[in-house]
């Protein structure tokens, strides 16, 4: 089933110069990028994005971290892309993430795990709407799709 998900390269991933490698991993897998932009998240948007964590001990440090520098936000599209992107990212704690995953190869600690991805179709829809307007999300055909999908 073709679906969309939201993925964000966090400030540590951008500042460490890992954006190209991360984007390349998704493209090499055959995942379509429908939207991408670099931005600095304002506190109000960060609070809405992480609303489910409000009141937890790590909420304020998380807001400080995610607003500390530029991020790259993407809308990815593909068959079962939510699950595939999460598998490619690896476990939240990079020390538990498998080698070959983005976090397993490129990160060391949970507080600096370089990437975020939606965990369900509901969160994907909500996060995409937080960060993108409809006109920013492009529909197009990739010429290699017949070699990716049966």
Angle 81-89/19-29 helices, nearest 10 degrees? 140
- The single residue of 116, 117, 118, 131 carrying the catalytic annotation is 116
Determine whether 116 is an active site residue. Answer: yes
Looking at residue 80, what DSSP letter applies? T
Is 144 in a helix, a strand, or coil?
coil
CA distance 143 to 49: 34
Active site residues per annotation? 116
């Amino acid at each position: 089933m073709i679906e969309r998900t939201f993925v964000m390269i966090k400030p540590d991933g951008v500042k460490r110069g890992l954006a190209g490698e991360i984007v390349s991993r998704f493209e090499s897998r055959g995942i379509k990028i429908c939207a991408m932009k670099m931005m600095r998240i304002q506190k109000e948007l960060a609070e809405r994005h992480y609303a489910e964590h409000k009141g937890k001990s790590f909420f304020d440090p998380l807001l400080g971290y995610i607003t500390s520098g530029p991020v790259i936000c993407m809308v990815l599209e593909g068959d079962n892309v939510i699950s595939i992107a999460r598998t490619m990212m690896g476990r939240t704690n990079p020390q538990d993430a498998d080698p070959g995953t983005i976090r397993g190869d490129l990160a060391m600690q949970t507080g600096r795990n370089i990437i975020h991805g939606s965990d369900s179709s509901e969160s994907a829809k909500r996060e995409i709407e937080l960060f993108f307007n409809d006109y920013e999300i492009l529909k197009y055909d990739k010429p290699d799709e017949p070699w990716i999908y049966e």
